[in-house]
A and B are shown apart, each in its own frame.
Chain A
Amino acid sequence: MNTSADQNTKCEVSFTVNGEKKSVLAHPMERLLDVLRHELELTGTKEGCGEGECGSCSVLLDGMLVNSCLVPVAQVSGTTIITIEGMSSHFLMKPLQEAFLECGGAQCGICTPGMILAAVHLLEKTPNPALADIREGLSGNLCRCTGYMQIFEAVSKAAPRRAAK
């Protein structure tokens, strides 16, 4: 089976990433995760499972938290994507980063970018979350190191600090 004869062609997909307009040439079924990491060299978004279970690949797609390992790049044409690298100016970022460091919310760090994005997504919708809201908001992000306690603490701590915009 020589594939070059029936090789599918790449297509141009344009979207905004972290505030910048980008255009990539990719096969339409390339995973968004791979386009971000390889074509755009945004390696902050991680692959943990490739099946949408661990949440390490979470990004914000038009403001919605999604698992980028399950998104074909062709579907992000014209959208706005934010990865962990683009979060630095977000008003929730500093409170979350500080709280994660204070509380021990990051140990090995591989789940942390996804976890922080999930926390941002939660706090944008629920500015004063109860513990039950935090647990639910992070239910799609697996952490093997912390046992979650210190992550919940960090998110709780960060929530009221958002006022310092």
Chain B
Amino acid sequence: MTVPHIVGSSVPRKEGWDKVTGAARYVDDMVLPGMLYGATVRSTIARGKIRNISFDPSIPWSEFVVVSSKDIPGKNHIALILDDQPCLASEAVNHPEEPILLLAHPDRHKLRKAVDAVAIDYDPLPSIHSIEESEEQSTIIWGSDNTLKSYLVEKGDVDAVWKDAAHIVEGEYFTGAQEQLYIENNGVIAAYDPEHGVTVWGSLQCPYYVHKALMALCGLPENKVRVVQMETGGAFGGKEEYPSMIAGHAALLAIKSGQPVKFVYDRMEDMVATTKRHPSRTRHRTAVDKDGKILGGEIDFTIDGGAYATLSSVVLSRGTIHAGGPYHWPSVRIRTKAVATNTPPHGAFRGFGAPQSLFAMERHMDRIAQVVGISPVEGRRRNFLKPGQTTTTQQVIREEIDLHHLLDRALELSSYTAKKTRFAEENKTGTRKKGIGIAAFLHGAGFTGSGERYLNSLVGVEAGVDGTVRVLVSSAEFGQGTNTVLCQIAAEALGLPYGNVVIAQPDTNVVPNSGPTVASRTAMIVGKLVQSAAQGIKQTLAKTGFLGDNYTPEQFRAACAQYIAAHETLKSYARYEAPGNVYWDDEKYRGEAYAAFAWAVYVAEVTVDLTTYAVSVDDFVALQEVGKVINPVLAEGQITGGVAQAIGFALYEKVLWQNGRMINNQMTNYIMPASLDLPPIRVFFEELGNVHGAHGAKGIGELPMDGPAPAILSAVEDATGVPFRSIPLLPEDLFEALRDEPIEQDFSPSTRGRA
């Protein structure tokens, strides 16, 4: 029996060598003979009818390929869930930068002038640009009431809790849009010929999403569409659904011209036209007893979905299910909705609704504690979920998670108690105020409820005559470690060296559909299938007598060669099977929402500089229980990267809107934290295992996005006394609050909040 030594160790990144030598091939590094370059003509208004399109004669239009909605062979929509988003606007536009026409030319430098030379006349219609405007319903822009989706979760008897409440605590919390800001912009190359159909190479997370969308758009059967994922320079959800749009555009131009077409956005276009994190508003009304224990409450969670439904229903779903945090709610009513506004549709971004509703829950826990008169730490303790209790969707917590222990450990690692006392003393003088704050949270991995059953993932493992094992999945690598982790699992399952296992480039002609690379499902769910499929190879060889129970890599190689000589190929497939005790009611939104939750407590230490009103994060402790750590270096990298993005979400990254259009769409004015801005991020893991995940793994990719923002705002509150409840929190916001807020502490004049 092999002792696990590949899974659990920090083997080097499978494609790492190419990345550190500059050999890794991203889509813009690829050139095809006769290739044209594409560009998009986009709406300049937020909403209206297209009256007329004219082409300025100064451009030699005969040199260009021009595509409009009329050229779409199949259906003019990007197939996703509701199919309401057009690929190209035909009669009306519903958001700024909505694509209307496509142009292609052999010289990429000629495109910008051509785009500018297309004049479009509109009859503008009233547009709406906030959740409140959308709710008002005086202007209807989608469906009958601007509501893209809604959910209702009920547990217990909420209406009965108010009368017994010692306190009724209310709060309203806001999160803004956030740009994924992958360093590689969206890009694809499409080619078409009648025999093979459409082939697309792209920077993407979900080859089969694009495949499905192209079939519908181009009116082509399954075997006439091929999608290949190139090395992808960051994604974070921003390349989950959007690539179907850009691939569709490239494909249409390729079909019309008969030549390959490359579409690579520049930074300005990528930021202004593609998806962002859904802005949110959460309202809490909570009944608590005199000890601060939650008796029940109402949670109202609303997200801004932008102009089309796209993925909003699923983002809303996750936000809904996470809205109660890691706490016990005897009764709760959670009312949630996604509303439409005239802005480019918001989409997937790491966390996918959970960072928004968990931000609110955690800020609200601080508020509850303050009203009751206990510490934020004590407030959590009195409400933590315990094994055997149920979540807001009435999922029983079956694992032996001990949140008190997690909290204790996080407090110890961050020297919380000593620092809190010291800061309170030191803050009495000086212009720099320090604070420390916590956040406790959970994150469900995999698709919600029956989602994984619906995905019905299929995974393959193949062995070659030289004994090399190849993993066949559609799961994409975009930095998070898919290639490495899945090869580790296969190597472990077969008892082979890590170096003997490779993974196929995700190509829909070659790999089965193992589902999209989202929802932190890859290690946990796809990994488990890889394990099964790899074991299937062993079983096949054993059954035929070519291989015994214990073997050397050389013996394995010989067995493969023998088998392949007799049977031509050696492949094994494994299909997802839903665990028996996972029940989810889609109607009542109740039951086992996720096969597994990861749990975490984060602690942020900040300094608030009253001279500049800037917040800097000085130290950060990220402690999480994740089932099993498959690759410690990669796992740590996921946490530090997620924490950094969440620090950006909290303190730096603000999207400035003007009539639904992002106006700070350059890296110089959309600010992400960089090397001089981030604290030491100290990462710690606990491993309780997970029966549903490969080697006990749970998902971790999105978890780190949920905790930092509320922990930071809690720390800022500790430092300043102001309970900020909206992010991003910029120095300008702090300044406005401090100048009006009565200063409770006795600051000497030179340290008082200024001006």
Contact = CB atoms under 8 A, between A and B. Distances in A.
Do A's and B's CB atoms come within 8 Å in the complex? yes
Contacts of B633: 102-104, 150
A83 B676 CA distance: 25
A26 B510 CA distance: 41
Interface string A103-137: 11011111111001000000000000000001110
Given A101-B12, A141-B675, A48 B641 contact: no
Contact of A149 (B21, B676, B680): B680
Given A88-B21, A113-B22, A144 B234 contact: yes
Interface string B391-430: 0000000000000000000000000000000000000000
Given A139-B675, A144-B645, A108 B478 contact: yes
A109 B148 CA distance: 37
Nearest to A143: B183
Interface stretch (B321-329, B340-348, B666-674): B666-674
Nearest to B481: A107
Contact of B19 (A54, A112, A147): A112
A54 B666 CA distance: 11
A51 B12 CA distance: 33
Contacts of A54: 183, 667
Interface residues of A, number: 52
Contact of A51 (B235, B480, B667, B674): B667
B479 interface: yes
B625 interface: no
Contact of A97 (B21, B58, B231): B21
B23 interface: yes
Contacts of B15: 109
Interface of B is mostly: loop
Nearest to B634: A104
A56 interface: yes
Contacts of A145: 234, 479, 637, 641
Interface residues of B, number: 57
A154 B180 CA distance: 25
B643 A106 contact: no
B13 interface: yes
Interface string B461-473: 0000000000000
Given A139-B676, A150-B636, A109 B231 contact: yes
A144 B26 contact: no
B524 interface: no
A101 B17 contact: yes
Interface string B179-200: 0111111000000000000000
A163 B13 CA distance: 26
Contact of B637 (A97, A107, A112): A107
Contacts of B231: 109
Given A51-B267, A104-B636, A106-B20, A139 B674 contact: yes
A49 B667 contact: yes
A148 B234 contact: no
A150 to B, nearest CB: 5
A101 B681 contact: no
Nearest to B640: A147
Most A CB within 10 A of own CB, among B12, B481, B642: B12
Contacts of B643: 147
B479 A109 contact: yes
B23 to A, nearest CB: 7
B632 to A, nearest CB: 9
28 contacts: A1-B58, A43-B25, A44-B22, A46-B28, A46-B233, A48-B183, A51-B667, A54-B667, A100-B16, A100-B20, A104-B10, A104-B13, A107-B479, A107-B481, A108-B184, A108-B233, A110-B182, A110-B234, A112-B20, A113-B22, A136-B676, A139-B675, A141-B675, A144-B181, A144-B182, A144-B183, A151-B675, A152-B675
Given A107-B234, A146-B641, 8 more contacts: A44-B21, A46-B183, A47-B185, A50-B266, A85-B21, A144-B182, A147-B641, A148-B640
* 10 closest Cβ pairs, A-B complex: A44-B22, A110-B233, A108-B479, A109-B19, A147-B644, A107-B479, A84-B22, A147-B640, A43-B29, A53-B667
